[in-house]
Amino acid sequence: MNKQKIADNLRRHLERRLSVALGCEPEDLEVLKLGGLIHLAFILHGDQESISGFSTCIRAVLELVGHEIVWADPAKVEDEQPKVTKVVVN
């Protein structure tokens, strides 16, 4: 599994969890950097970065997918991914 696919799976999971916590649909959330989603998920359970497990979590994600992906602008990442077009032949 490549790093971008791991990051996409993490993003989907975090967006689902945050939408439940905020009482909305995942599509209603603004598109945030993966690192921002992680920070937001922890802030909903406390008021500072020293919340138990934050440092371990962010370090593990950085090791898994890398700093560039965690802090990349999501709009740019989507632009870089190849577009798949479906061709329908009758």
pLDDT in tens, 32-80: 899 999 888 888 876 665 567 788 888 999 999 999 999 998 887 655 5
Residue 51, CB-side half-sphere exposure with 13 Å CA sphere = 15
Q: What is the pTM of this model?
A: 0.71
Residue 4 has pLDDT above 80, yes or no: yes
SS3 44: coil
Helix axes 3-22, 54-65, angle to 10 degrees: 140
Instruction: Calculate mean pLDDT across residues 20-32.
Output: 90
DSSP 8-state class, residue 71 = T
Cα torsion 37, 38, 40, 41: sign:
positive
d(CA 82, CA 90): 25
**Residue ranges per structural domain of the chain:** 3-80
- So what's the pLDDT on residue 40? 87
